Structure 1
């Protein structure tokens, strides 16, 4: 069960990828979802997999409408009972009240995927029953345990990406990607992609970017490989994503305050691989702790190092030698310094990209994720 099918974020992408893996492993999957009011309802890839899709009703639960909501959920549970499912897999933990009631009335054990921070302060009263929890990182497991879910009920199943869909680029790929975006080959390029909001650290990044530019101007030119020219130009920050009403004006003002041509703002796009190929470095400075940090593994899969928040799931991914690329994103001076150091390292360490990709293949590829997910769901269904 999920919210919508159209890919608007990491959760929707995870649902599609995991569904594909489950189907290919020979399992029968049904998707219960809410119909989208947008043009693209996201059904096509699920239809191609032969997955049965069901329109679900409103999952929301309110204190003032508790009895009416519980009655709706109970009816949904009775409706779902006819599907004879082995396990109900809830991918939106904010709808836990829905899942608990539906699980009770359908008689189907509930597995709740914890993709993000808790939505409720106290979960004890609704965390029981035949319910198991799958956390995408240790930090999410701790956060939900502190909110009231018994730690023994939580299994950590880190996310993974298909590295074949996030390939390392050839020199020709880099040139084409940069040419398409109008970026010179000698321009140090830093990429952020995702929601352009304060909580994702975009305003902190833009403040830090001013420091990056000032420091870069004060430094001697940095030598680059021969094919890129003799000296690097003013660094460029690429922001690719959607502006949200609450923060849109603040983001625009922050961009306008920076030197002309130092920031390139692009609309949200599904295919981010060309953006990654055009970048030297990726930044994921989320102030709100990430559940996992999919951007980090996507970027590193393409051979791009990532500067990311030291907390949450991103801090867990960037362990070992990669810990030097973690930072407190609210400390804009430290963020700027780390970005500059990382840019220098991309120039002076030609093995950096290869090591990035190898790290993802070993620790965050699809195989370990799918094995962990299948094991957890099958064990819960059998129990």
Structure 2
């Protein structure tokens, strides 16, 4: 197939709900349609299905993310059927469980198999490394940061020639301070029960332990009493963890200064409603899209000094990097913003290095390369 010929891509992931993986899926589908190609997605469904189909892409609902071994043959057969019926030219897997079935289906139908290594997966039990290795088995493997690429080479011995580094992109039109009205900001403040004189620390992340909410709560106890911490994110059934966070805040005497409002729809307004943004993950982030989006909105970001955040946050210039788990250092960095901080320069840097358009163009280049490989 020539590079100019229209082609069809099937992206495979467990769900199309909130999150960086899901948003990237929609962005790539949008780019495919705009370029005259076919965009297909199979997932268990979710909040972003409507946004996906508005681009002109086609969504198929199926439980391809199941981890049950007994359902594996069915999942392979289902994906094979989609490949044949929709004349799919490239299969792109974005998560481990569905990737195993997608890999087998792509081999059976003789189409290129591309993966994106979105996260640094833990290896908590014997055999986990092999389970994770599917994300490094693509004909081409997309890494969302240089940190991730190095991890793939070291952990899975994947040849560098098969790895392509494509940082996650920021939609600079959506994440533009000038595009956010005062009314949208006020609506977020009201939802969060923020007083006009409060100083807001914003932590947008899934409510899961390694995202560092406990570190942020301990840091909150070291900050002035007019400081409020807002932990926005989907608990995804982790009610016990949410209760633990509230109990910790109560123990430290900051329960009245902690907000856990759940999922936030208007993220640009949420960034504008905050004075500082933090991503205090205790495990390395593969990339750090939240930190990039916050800087696009001109916000000072304090992140943990490991993983992909090191590529995104320029320490002391557009944000600060602190040792993971160090709540004292986190509190200090949240207070200390240099007078030389240039919001517009922070935004320009993100546009130059981490734009959505750059991600889209680079991903389509990977598809073309996969199709041209012998």
TM-score tier by shorter-chain length is 0.7 to 0.9
Is the 1:80–1:106 Cα contact (8 Å) retained in structure 2? yes
Deviation, 1:317, is 0.7
Residue 174 of structure 2 is matched in structure 1 by 165
Deviation, 1:308, is 0.7
Residue 248 of structure 1 is matched in structure 2 by 242
Residue 292 of structure 2 is matched in structure 1 by 297
C-alpha distance in structure 1 between counterparts of 2:61 and 2:198, whole Å: 49
Deviations 1:312-371 (A, max 9, x none): 1112111365486011231122112111213xx3xx44x532222122111111222222
Provide the aligned length of Structure 1 versus Structure 2. 352
Residue 270 of structure 1 is matched in structure 2 by 265
Residue 134 of structure 1 is matched in structure 2 by 142
Residue 183 of structure 1 pairs with residue 194 of structure 2: yes
Residue 119 of structure 2 is matched in structure 1 by 116
Deviation, 1:54, is 2.5
Residue 204 of structure 1 is matched in structure 2 by 215
* Secondary structure at 1:147 match in 2: helix
C-alpha distance in structure 2 between counterparts of 1:156 and 1:338, whole Å: 30
Where does structure 1 lack aligned partners over 5 or more consecutive residues? 214-232
Residue 30 of structure 1 pairs with residue 40 of structure 2: yes
* Mapping 1:147-162, distance limit 5 Å: 147-152=155-160, 153-162=162-171
* Secondary structure at 2:347 match in 1: helix
Is the 2:215–2:325 Cα contact (8 Å) retained in structure 1? yes
Residue 55 of structure 1 pairs with residue 61 of structure 2: yes
Residue 230 of structure 1 is matched in structure 2 by none
Deviation, 1:235, is 1.8
Deviation, 1:60, is 4.0
TM-score (norm 1): 0.82
Is the 2:79–2:102 Cα contact (8 Å) retained in structure 1? no
Residue 146 of structure 1 pairs with residue 154 of structure 2: yes
Residue 83 of structure 1 pairs with residue 86 of structure 2: yes
Deviations 1:160-190 (A, max 9, x none): 1111101115794697357635534443221
**Kindly tell me: are residues 104 and 334 of structure 1, through their superposed partners in 2, closer, same or farther at Cα, counting changes over 3 Å?**
same
C-alpha distance in structure 1 between counterparts of 2:138 and 2:233, whole Å: 39
**Kindly tell me: are residues 57 and 189 of structure 1, through their superposed partners in 2, closer, same or farther at Cα, counting changes over 3 Å?**
closer
Residue 2 of structure 1 pairs with residue 2 of structure 2: no
**Kindly tell me: are residues 88 and 371 of structure 1, through their superposed partners in 2, closer, same or farther at Cα, counting changes over 3 Å?**
same
CA RMSD of the aligned region, Å? Answer: 2.9
Deviations 1:126-160 (A, max 9, x none): 67876211011111122222332513221111111
* Secondary structure at 2:129 match in 1: coil
**Kindly tell me: are residues 60 and 149 of structure 1, through their superposed partners in 2, closer, same or farther at Cα, counting changes over 3 Å?**
farther
Is the 2:76–2:101 Cα contact (8 Å) retained in structure 1? yes
TM-score (norm 2): 0.83
Residue 363 of structure 2 is matched in structure 1 by 373
Deviations 1:249-307 (A, max 9, x none): 21011222333542233221221222211111100111122121111111111111110
C-alpha distance in structure 2 between counterparts of 1:135 and 1:6, whole Å: 20
* Secondary structure at 1:95 match in 2: helix
C-alpha distance in structure 1 between counterparts of 2:204 and 2:136, whole Å: 37
**Kindly tell me: are residues 172 and 50 of structure 1, through their superposed partners in 2, closer, same or farther at Cα, counting changes over 3 Å?**
closer
Deviations 1:68-96 (A, max 9, x none): 73575256425523432221111223433
Residue 46 of structure 1 is matched in structure 2 by 52
* Secondary structure at 1:265 match in 2: strand
C-alpha distance in structure 2 between counterparts of 1:128 and 1:248, whole Å: 34
